[in-house]
Amino acid sequence: MSAVLSTSELNCRRRNVGQLLDRGSTPLSSTIENSFLEEYNVLRKEAFIMSFSIRLTEEERKLADSYAKLHSLSISEAFKRALFEKIEDEFDIVLADKAYDEYKNNPETYSLEELEKELGL
């Protein structure tokens, strides 16, 4: 978070979010922007925690245990990191594909010197 909030600002935000959460008729996702909700959770030192279970063969469990120990992680943290790394990788692939499509439509490129000159560096 970039700015430090005063106590009165913090209390005002807590009241506003509390009022929105108490309005059971409006879906939370359309009432509160995700970024504000995340900020609220950081301010209150709370998190929405979700747990899940997965079935592993004995061989898969041993591999997961070994990986987690090698990196000094709990099994939960190892799976969590793997999940989010996979999501990030797929997101990067989509962005790379879009950038390549843009390049194919307009294949003009610039040297580093040209870019520095244009940006005044």
CA distances from 99 to 55, 76, 92, 104 (A): 38, 35, 10, 9
- The domains of the chain are located at 7-44
Indicate if the pLDDT at residue 4 is higher than 70: no
Average predicted confidence (pLDDT) for the chain: 76
Structural contact between residues 13 and 6, judged by C-beta atoms closer than 8 angstroms: no
Cβ-Cβ contacts under 8 Å for 5 (sequence gap 6 or more): 13, 43
Cα 8 from Cα 117, distance rounded (Å): 48
More confident residue, 21 or 9: 9
pLDDT value of residue 85:
93
pLDDT tens for residues 84-116?
999 999 999 999 999 999 999 998 888 999 989
The model's pTM is 0.50
pLDDT tens for residues 67-88?
999 999 999 999 999 999 999 9
Longest dimension (CA), the chain: 60
Cα 100 from Cα 97, distance rounded (Å): 5
% of the chain at pLDDT higher than 90: 49
Assign 10 a pLDDT band (cuts: 50, 70, 90). low
Indicate if the pLDDT at residue 7 is higher than 90: no
Cα 82 from Cα 79, distance rounded (Å): 5
